[in-house]
Structure 1
Amino acid sequence: MVYKFRVILDAEEDVFRDIAILESDTLEDLHNAIVNAFGFDGLEVASFYTCDDTWNQEDEIPMFDSGDIPGENKIMSDYTLDAVVDAENTKIIYVYDFINMWTFLVELAAIEETEEVGVIYPNLMFSHGEMPAEAMEKHFVSDLEEEENYNEFEDDLDEEDLDMFSGDDSFEDYGFEENWN
């Protein structure tokens, strides 16, 4: 079977590529197809991330095993596409170059029963938009729940709590000796 993916760059302008690839190919094969389709040199580290239907990132699938014990972690080459995506789970996230954080939303758009005669897979089927000079800047924000938990303590603070020493550099009131270590 042939999986047809739309790979969308997280950017202000519409930039995407449609890639056809065999279901038995690995995530590493898809990684290479994305690198080639978007014109990267392929020298940077990348990862795929499983996600839910609303693109909330879940488990990482890296290029290389960075665990303490060799072979402990599964990597891109260990997963065939049909083991990660299917008709029910159609979305994964791809991040290339962890310095610049080129982020792509990868969605399975179609599953076709037969391969086209004369086509070499993976196959770049369609290309739209030009790559920007730089990756879009990411703004990381804490979850609302975490923010509420943090802010709940602000109401309980008074000025003495904020000024730990109250003008006195002594630790005597806190049970510490001057040379405690």
Structure 2
Amino acid sequence: MIYKFRVLSDEDELFLRDFDVDSESTFLTLHKAIQENLGFDPSQLVSFFLADEHWNKGMELTLIDMQNDTGLAAIPMDKVKIKELITKRKERLLYTYDIFADRNLFIELIDIAEAKEGIEYPLCTASLGEAPIQVADDIILDFDAENDEKNEIDELFDEFNDDDFDSLGFEDDSEF
């Protein structure tokens, strides 16, 4: 069977890709089709996540075999066929292509059909809009020790002073 996946981005409402993929293929095959079509750097870490109807992340499929602290199963994407986890229209995946900024493509199975003779899969069947930038350049970590300006996190911590903790019974450092 051939699965038709629709890929959308929340960063650009004009972005859309449709991919036809053999259901016998692994998630690695779908990953490579997305990477090639979007011109992404294949050396970057990415993951697929099974998602529910509200796009909440479920089981993770990783590019490399790695341990996962979330308690959810993490499976290398080359070890599982698409049809083993995706079986019905409307099932969803998140494709996290910028791990550090948690930027995702939203993928939904929109159709299941018979393979057409003479067609080599995977195949991009619809392409609209520009691909998102793979790694967010606007994320800059500045650890300048001379910069003593308070940020939002500092302000949140300042709301809880020592007296707040004293009322919880932690009056003396030796209790920790």
Fold match (TM-score > 0.5):
yes
User: RMSD across aligned C-alpha pairs, in angstroms?
Assistant: 3.3
% identical equivalent positions: 28
Give the partner amino acid of 2:32: N
Alignment partner, residue 84 of structure 2: 83
Q: Deviations over 1:27-53 (max 9, x none)?
A: 011110111121212121100111111
Q: Does 1:161 align with 2:163?
A: yes
Structure of higher CA gyration radius: 1
| 1:163 to partner: Cα distance | 8.2
**TM-score, scaled to structure 1:** 0.69
- 1:12-91 equivalence runs, <5 A: 12-67=12-67, 74-87=75-88, 90-91=91-92
Whole-Å Cα distance in 2 between the matches of residues 102 and 32 of structure 1? 18
Rate the CA distance shift 1:163–1:73 in 2: closer, same or farther, 3 A: closer
* Cα pair distance change 1:50/1:27, threshold 3 Å: same
Counterpart residue number, 1:118: 118
* Contact 1:100–1:134, Cα closer than 8 Å, also in 2: no
3-state SS of 1:78 partner: coil
Q: From the superposition, tell whether residues 11 and 161 of structure 1 become closer, same or farther in structure 2 (CA, over 3 Å).
A: same
Shift of 1:90: 1.2
Structure 2 CA distance, aligned partners of 1:19 and 1:132?
A: 17
Q: What code does the residue aligned with 1:13 have?
A: E
Q: 1:20 to 1:161 in 2, by over 3 A?
A: same
Give the deviation of 1:9 after TM superposition. Answer: 1.8
Could you say if the C-alpha distance between residues 80 and 134 of structure 1 is closer, same or farther in structure 2, counting changes exceeding 3 Å? closer
Report how far residue 84 of structure 1 moved. Answer: 1.4
Task: Work out the CA distance in 2 between the residues paired with 1:73 and 1:95.
Answer: 14
Equivalent pair of 1:11/1:135 in contact (CA under 8 Å): no
Distance 1:83 1:105 in 2: 20
Change (3 A) 1:134 1:28: closer
One-letter amino acid of the counterpart of residue 58, structure 1: G
Q: 1:88–1:123: structure 2 CA closer, same or farther, 3 Å change rule?
A: closer
Deviation at residue 134 of structure 1 after TM alignment: 6.7
User: Could you tell me which residue of structure 1 aligns to residue 130 of structure 2?
Assistant: 130
Count of equivalent residues: 149
Cα distance between partner residues in 1 of 2:29 and 2:134: 25
Aligned to 2:108: 107
Q: Counterparts of 1:116 and 1:45 in 2: how far apart (Å)?
A: 33
Q: TM-score, normalised by structure 2?
A: 0.71
Q: What SS class does the counterpart of residue 34 from structure 2 fall into?
A: helix
Over 3 Å counting, the alpha-carbon distance change for 1:63 and 1:123 in structure 2 is: same
Aligned-partner SS, 1:130: coil
